[in-house]
Amino acid sequence: MIQQPNYPAEPWVVRETALDLDRMAQSESIFALANGHLGLRGNLDEGEPRALSGTYLNGFYESFPLAYGEGGYGFPEDGQAVVNVTDGKLIRLLVEDEPLDVHRGTLEHHERVLDLRAGTLTRDLRWTSAGGRSVRVTSQRLVSFRQRSVAAIAFEVEALDGPMRVALQSNLLANQASGPGSGDPREGNHLTNVLESQLCVDNRLRVVLAHTTRNSGLAVAAGMEHVFEGADGLLTRVESERDLGRLTASVELTPGEPLRMIKLLAYHWSGRQSIEWLRDQVDASLENALAEGFDELVASQRAYLDAYWEMADVELDGDPEIQQALRYAQFQVLQASARAETRAIPAKGLTGPGYDGHTFWDGETFVLPVLTYTAPQLARSALAWRHRTLDLARDRARQLGLRGAAFPWRTIHGEECSGYWPAGTAAFHINAAVADAVRRYMLATEDVAFEREIGGELVIETARLWASLGHFDADGNFRIDGVTGPDEYSALADNNVYTNLMAQSNLRAAARVADRHPDVAAGLGVDVAEVDGWKAAAEHMHVPYDERLRVHPQDQDFTTHEHWDFEHTRPDEYPLLLHRPYLDLYRKQVVKQADIVLALFLRGDAFTLEERRRDFEYYEQMTVRDSSLSACVQAVVAAEVGHLELAYAYVGEAALMDLHDLEHNVADGVHIASLAGAVMAAVAGFGGVRDHGDELSFAPRLPQALTRLAFPVAFRGRRLHVEVTPRRVRYALGPEDEPLSFTHWGKVVHLSAGTPITAEIPAAEPLAPPRQPPGREPLSRRVVHDGDTRATDEAS
């Protein structure tokens, strides 16, 4: 866990006040910069020491054969892994004849600051060499939101104790060696030497390198350009070879007259374009960046983020640590999606190689709801990527003997890459997640063109999958057997409640699309009989219920299984997937992550409040949260059913998942879906936002420690601002917005621009706190009198 005071809680920055060499990997992920197209890990400028260097391009991957001890029909044949492409971050400094190295000499000061409003990472250090020569180095780094292929670094060195000669070496380095893996299956594959050189050229202060991958056949070109300031007497040399481009600059420094170097980077890749064309694009991007200049790149970065925060900022008073974490979460969600532009949103964004750089169901279920109500154009883009992969999903469905589209459990390009089919292929709920994201986007935007061109086809083809995957039993119930729900500690179960309810929603949505756009439906071969079949399957969807326990079983047999022996499970045996065989997990009542509890949230309209409460409390006893996606969901439902202090504890866990490395795997990248889930936990949990059916509703309520929650909601061209205090909530529209109707605690509210409405919040009824598995209780939070928020060992 990152400890204070090296990482103080501040509202708009993440600051590291001292360099912790034991946490290099974690800080490299935390300080990563990206824009959805290009990502740079937060490595030190000099590149060493490092845990895991990384430069990533969204969608750029290498393929490799998946190995099976015993194969089977329909098993995916190839895996895909994100590639660490040419590293342009490297800037090395030689002071007289000694390299700046934090392992050598004396590091007198070291600070890094990630500014969430500026979109920059700054570094400031003072270092004295073993020979007694002192310098100050400052750098500022950004990955541009405006120019999607461009990154820039301003590097400044100043002599502190008299004239001295220094040399800077600015590198482009391909096929950089990575460290050994940890053995954690979440980490992903470490592919090495996958890039084959195709071009290396240098001209004045510029170098361009181009490579292709050995198996996937993708091509990438990377270039660097330089501008020097305060460089009287500067000597430079540029050279290039197959995997290395290097500029070396030498100058004599005088105290008070620093040398400043601007390094501009550009990256372009393609599976179709020639190396020559990619090189031309890199040169053009570098010229545009040169013309704009570093200061203008910084200014345009701030302007982009100002517009984003206007529509996205979640303000939370009473817990400075969570406030910082929520803004960090929103910043990383933006970094993963802003310029993805018909590419996927990877589970780790572009911050590391975890999960091989794959995208999962997490994107549609956790990330897109946040984007839909803050930056809907980015949600549209992500769904357009799914649509682009629809033919591959149709092919996969046919391979499985099904109709419609079977979207992959994990992928980069669109093919299924999960080599473990019980938790991968069998997790068909990814298809309902795509349809639900379409439904939500349409509810929030009324984008008819999108529904006709993209969304309608996605919803119809996923509905066809459910119609062919399920069947009507002798009693007339529609069953979906042999599937894996969100809880990966259960597999190949019959009638998983979450899956069935989400499939039901998918089928109904497809029927509505066919009714609204008969020409679109006809173009896809939909007839009246097929629509009637969807409606009948939805109407008669089997939703198991255990009359004895008065709860919904996670699947039809779950509550008959043996209970997991939590009393004899040691704390060091979590996560269970690293210490116990799946066969043992599958046979017991133990839950990796919220499953039916997620259904209580996303399909809350299918349950009464009393059912939601009983189900939540039952599954609290067996949910171990071995997934980063659990705490945020538990937070939302805990708040909804009245366990506010427990919800507060879970919001803290969700929000601090990466900043405190709670899952112990932030080293290979941050958890984008969990970060989005933290925002969802605050807004849907304490803000009470729901979007069931065709309406927006609110049921806000705050825990005792929090004094205010405020957030905007982008909805049908309006900006609705919601401000929650302990007893009241204020709703307001933008000055030019059209009137809007929604519900507040079940009562219809008609809101007009210029006339805010304040409504009362009903008090929560007292409830006995539910139990969690021994040793898996969330850390409760309390705010002490000086305003610091600390974790305690008291269960909520």
138 in Cβ contact with 122 (< 8 Å): yes
Three-class SS state of 440: helix
Per-residue HEC secondary structure of 466-524 comes to HHHHCEECCCCCEECCCECCCCCCCCCECCCHHHHHHHHHHHHHHHHHHHHCHHHHHHC
Backbone angles phi, psi at 264, to 5 degrees: -110, 135
- Which residue in this structure is represented by tokens 């039916």? 596
Which of 488, 620, 640, 653 is the catalytic position? Answer: 488
Q: Is 315 a catalytic residue?
A: no
User: Which residues touch 744 (CB under 8 Å, ≥6 apart)?
Assistant: 697, 698, 699, 729, 731, 759
Q: Output the 3-class SS for 383-424.
A: HHHHHHCHHHHHHHHHHCCCCCCCCCCCECCCCCCCCCCCCC
Q: DSSP string covering 293-337, please?
A: -HHHHHHHHHHHHHHHHHHHPPEEES-HHHHHHHHHHHHHHHHHH
- 57-68: b (≥16 Cβ within 10 Å) or e: bbbbbbbbebee
Count the Cβ atoms, other than its own, within 10 Å of residue 601.
Answer: 21
| Dihedral sign (CA 431, 436, 439, 444) | negative
> Coil, helix or strand for 566?
helix
Contact 750, 743 (CB under 8 A): no
- For residue 753, which amino acid is it? A
Q: What does the buried/exposed string (b/e) look like for 194-219 if buried means 16 or more CB atoms within 10 Å of the residue's CB? A: bbeebbbebeebbbbbbbbbeebebb
> What distance in Å separates the CA atoms of residue 229 and residue 748, rounded to the nearest whole number?
62
The span from the CA of 745 to the CA of 729, in Å, is 11
- For residue 283, which of 266, 298, 271, 299 has the smallest C-alpha distance? 266
Task: Say if strands 740-744 and 697-698 run parallel, antiparallel, or are unpaired.
Answer: parallel
Taking the C-alpha atoms of residue 292 and residue 199, their distance in angstroms, rounded to an integer, is 27
Q: What is the 3-state secondary structure (H, E, C) of 69-123?
A: CCCCCCCCCEEEEECCCCECCCEEEEECCEECCCCCCEEEEEEEEEECCCCEEEE
CB neighbourhood size of 300 (10 A): 17
766 burial class (0-12, 13-18, 19+ CB within 10 angstroms)? exposed
Look up residue 179 and give its DSSP letter.
P
The type of residue at 138 is T
Question: Which is nearest to 673 in space by CA: 355, 431, 287, 308?
Answer: 355
- Rounded Cα distance, 751 and 240, in Å: 64
Amino acid at position 27, single letter = S
Alpha helical stretches, state H, 108-189? none
Rounded CA separation 485/619 (Å) = 15
362-to-116, 349, 456 alpha-carbon distances in Å: 24, 12, 21
- Helices and strands: H and E segment counts in the chain: 20, 33
Residue 647 corresponds to which tokens in the numbers above?
């919800």
Q: Which residues contact 72 (CB under 8 A, 6 or more apart)?
A: none
**Which residues are annotated as catalytic?**
488
